[in-house]
Structure 1
Amino acid sequence: MARPLTMLLAALALGASVTASAGQRTLTLDPDGTTVSFTLGATLHTVHGSAPLARGVVVFDSDGGVASGEVVVDAAGADTGSAKRDREMHDNVLMSARNPTVVLRPARVEGRLPEVGSTALTVRGTIELLGRQHEISVPVEVAVRGDEVTIRAEFDIPYVEWGLHDPSAFLLKVDHFVTVAVAGAGTLSAGPAAAGETAPSAQDQPQP
């Protein structure tokens, strides 16, 4: 009796494992179809800018849970339309010569992704700025149509609190947070990303 019972338990465990991994999905963002824009409030005017998406791959369970991957923004390519302002931003705020990217590393997705239709998810993880990890929670609107996905997200980054330079001057005061908006398009596939498709996730602890 012991052997059949052992075989039954093993079969149940295997079935549970298959069921648990059956909902795993990989979202691969299209850099050409994704825009990353940012807005910074100031005394005299509001600054608008954008930065290219270098790459983005997120692996997660469609029912929510642990996630991995990286969404990498080309900080060195950030632009606000003013050469003088951009020079200040790159040299003194982003320090992009030494820190050319900003990286979002998802650790968890909250919410359920439908087979078809729209939903709201929350992505929790870290953002790497100037080589330091900071915890963040990002609300994301997702629309699924077959293997095509569109996303919309907007969130604030308290860059001064996170240790970046405050570019305020005597007569010009700027907000201590920047609002980031992402409008993206990508493809959804079953299972984890293929080897070499996504950069490895970092497990560094967030720093204040």
Structure 2
Amino acid sequence: MKSFARSLLFVLPLAFAPVAFAQHQTLAIAADASQVTFTLGGSDHAVKGTFHVQSGSIDFDSGTQKISGSVVVAAGSGNSGNDGRDKKMKNDVLDVSHFAEVSFVPQSYQGAIAPSGDSTIQITGTFTLHGTPHDLTVPVQVHIDGTNCTAKTHFVVPYVKWGLKDPSVFILKVAKEVDIDLALVGHLSSAN
């Protein structure tokens, strides 16, 4: 009986090893399927537009709540549907010739990521805009269906407070903060 108990103690960790291993996963972000939209309020009307996700990969362990990786957005891809406004946004506000990328690097998260279905977590990380890093915590809704994963969040960027130029002119006033909606789509794989 003692040898059976010793054997069981040896075999149980091996039996559960695949489960623990599966908790450590990588989300390879499909840039073309992912989307960044923005809304900037103004005295006349709200301006809506998009940016292009350039690249991204998120490595996370649902057992230890460790997270790393990055999401990179092309600053020069901003499109509001108005060429003159977009040129001003890219040149005067974002200064894309010097700061071509906007990025978010996750550092920790709170909450639980379910192996399938829906989860809501809080991710804390560094949001770099105009070459300057800012601490940011965002709520993220995660949906896992097999190896397919989507992650969605909404947050506000106080761009003027963070040192970017206010594009308001004379009677045309715009908000000092911009609403961002990020929808990431990707493929999950076990991380090694």
Q: TM-score, normalised by structure 1?
A: 0.80
Residues in 2 aligned to 1:155 and 1:135: alpha-carbon distance in whole angstroms: 13
Percent of paired sites with the same residue: 34
Partner of residue 94, structure 2: 94
Partner of residue 6, structure 2: none
Partner of residue 140, structure 1: 140
Residues in 2 aligned to 1:57 and 1:109: alpha-carbon distance in whole angstroms: 16
Partner of residue 190, structure 1: 190
Residues in 2 aligned to 1:59 and 1:76: alpha-carbon distance in whole angstroms: 27
Residues in 1 aligned to 2:136 and 2:182: alpha-carbon distance in whole angstroms: 15
Give the match's secondary structure for 1:137. strand
Across the aligned residues of Structure 1 and Structure 2, the Cα RMSD in angstroms comes to 2.0
Residues in 2 aligned to 1:48 and 1:174: alpha-carbon distance in whole angstroms: 12
Structure 2 gap ranges (5+): 1-9
Q: Measured at CA, do residues 83 and 64 of structure 1 come closer, stay the same or move farther in structure 2, by a change above 3 Å?
A: farther
Cα offsets for 1:99-157 (capped at 9, x unmatched):
11101010012111111110101111011111110000111111111111112111101
Cα offsets for 1:60-109 (capped at 9, x unmatched):
11145332111000111111111110111011110011111101010012
Partner of residue 169, structure 2: 169
Partner of residue 79, structure 1: 79
Give the match's secondary structure for 2:170. coil
Partner of residue 150, structure 2: 150
Partner of residue 61, structure 2: 61
Partner of residue 195, structure 1: none
**Letter matched to residue 176 of structure 1:** K
**Letter matched to residue 181 of structure 1:** D
Greater share of residues in strand = 2
Cα offsets for 1:143-192 (capped at 9, x unmatched):
11111111211110111111111111110111111111012211111125
Residues in 1 aligned to 2:151 and 2:60: alpha-carbon distance in whole angstroms: 15
Partner of residue 46, structure 1: 46
Residues in 1 aligned to 2:151 and 2:69: alpha-carbon distance in whole angstroms: 16
Count of paired positions: 178
Q: TM-score, normalised by structure 2?
A: 0.86
